[in-house]
Amino acid sequence: MFKLLIANIKMTFRDKQAIFWSLVFPLMFIIIFGLFDFTKMGDSKYVIFDQAQTELSASFQQGLDEIEFLKKQDTPSSLDEAKQQMTDGDIEIVLVVPEDFTLPSVPDTPQDIPEGMDVPPTDIPQPSPIQIYYDEGNLTTNQVALSVVDKFVDQMNMSLANTPRVFSYTTESIQSKDIDYIDIIMPGILGMAIMMSAIIGISTGISRYREQKLLKRLAATPIKIRDFLTAEVLSYLVVNLIQITLIILLARLAFNVQVHGNYFYIYLICIIGSIIFLNIGFAIAGYSKNTKTAEALSQVIAMPMMFFSGVFFSTETLPKAVASIVEYLPLTPMIDALREISINGGTLQDVWLELCFMGGWIIVSFIIAWKMFKFKD
């Protein structure tokens, strides 16, 4: 069995397709997502036409200048030119402050109104509204910019009405772990790499053996079927250990990804997950009549789990009906457990429910593989 194990490992590393799905494919995702800085919000370039030239309009411009992601540009010669620049994508927001943008004078309250009677409302002249033109293509940052303008206008209205400030709030920052998006993605890519290499590798590998009549020839030798299958599984587990190590090292050295939990727990959960997906791979190999069928079927099973199980996006963003289903996919509890340990520093006690789900999937997947996989045709 040991010689079979060494032979399987050699064949795995000589198989370009196996190497791609096992090592290159997950490392590509680590590099791609690591290069993106999701903490930075795209800048919104704006121009402002101050037709009022008052102290109030100057205060309004000063408030906009204090917003970091709003970048003021040189004011064009005309509003039409500014709109054209917006159409060309050079700016995203155009603000037009009207000429009558100033604090209106409030008439004095009559002094001869008896005490206890309501003061009749006074007519306050209404200045023209600020005109805002914005590009819908940069929706996120522009909505923030519009909320800033809205808040500024509300504050001016409250000041004009002499409304006392009754409610307020205080802020206090609490130092927590510095978590970036790549820290969240890394455990998901670990689970994805284990799943892809196990399902695709074992299903296509065994199907290729069947096409080449190797299984039939092995059956005629003194080699026990049990030893052959054990060596096959162990060889993939060795490859998985190399996968895990390379992904963690690349994420740590290239993008400073922190693992706050125990590395042994990370490896343990990955090995448990690998057993599940190896069983699924054996079931696919047993069902498929040739290598092409095995490749197609393994992709059909693996790809939906890659997108629905929370590798790149949280399952909470899915519709409730779909989210309630994907919770029971084998990859979902694996990724949840990896993230709990890697990000929150959890222990095996903290992920006992996920481990129970994974244990159940080991039993279910083994029964399916045992029923479908046949060593001989």
Six-digit token string for 356: 């129970």
**Amino acid type, 240:** N
Q: In this structure, what are the phi and psi dihedrals at residue 178, rounded to the nearest 5 degrees?
A: -80, 100
DSSP 373: -
Q: Give 190 or 4, the one with higher predicted confidence.
A: 190
- The reported pTM is 0.66
DSSP 22-71: IIIHHHHHHHHHHH--TTPPPPEEEEEEESS-SHHHHHHHHHHHT-TTEE
| CATH fold of the domain at 44-107+119-160 | abc type-2 transporter like fold (3.40.1710)
State pLDDT tens for residues 195-232.
988 898 888 888 888 888 877 787 777 777 777 778 88
> Is 80 exceeded by the pLDDT of residue 279?
yes
CB 247 within 8 A of CB 192: no
pLDDT of residue 175: 45
Domain boundaries, the chain: 2-37+180-372, 44-107+119-160
Q: Give 277 or 139, the one with higher predicted confidence.
A: 277
Return the sign of the alpha-carbon dihedral for residues 362, 365, 368, 369: negative
Percent of the chain whose predicted confidence (pLDDT) is above 70: 78
Around 245, how many Cα atoms within 13 Å sit in the side-chain half-sphere? 6
- For residue 268, give every residue at least 6 positions away whose Cβ sits within 8 Å of its Cβ, in sequence order, or none: 348
pLDDT of residue 87: 80
Six-digit token string for 227: 């030893």
pLDDT of residue 331: 92
Name the band, by pLDDT with cuts 50, 70 and 90, for residue 78.
Answer: confident
Percent of the chain whose predicted confidence (pLDDT) is above 90: 18
Six-digit token string for 235: 């060889």
Name the band, by pLDDT with cuts 50, 70 and 90, for residue 365.
Answer: very high
State pLDDT tens for residues 223-274.
777 777 788 888 888 888 988 999 999 988 888 888 888 999 999 999 999 9
Give me the sheet containing 131-134, strands edge to edge.
70-72, 44-50, 93-97, 131-134
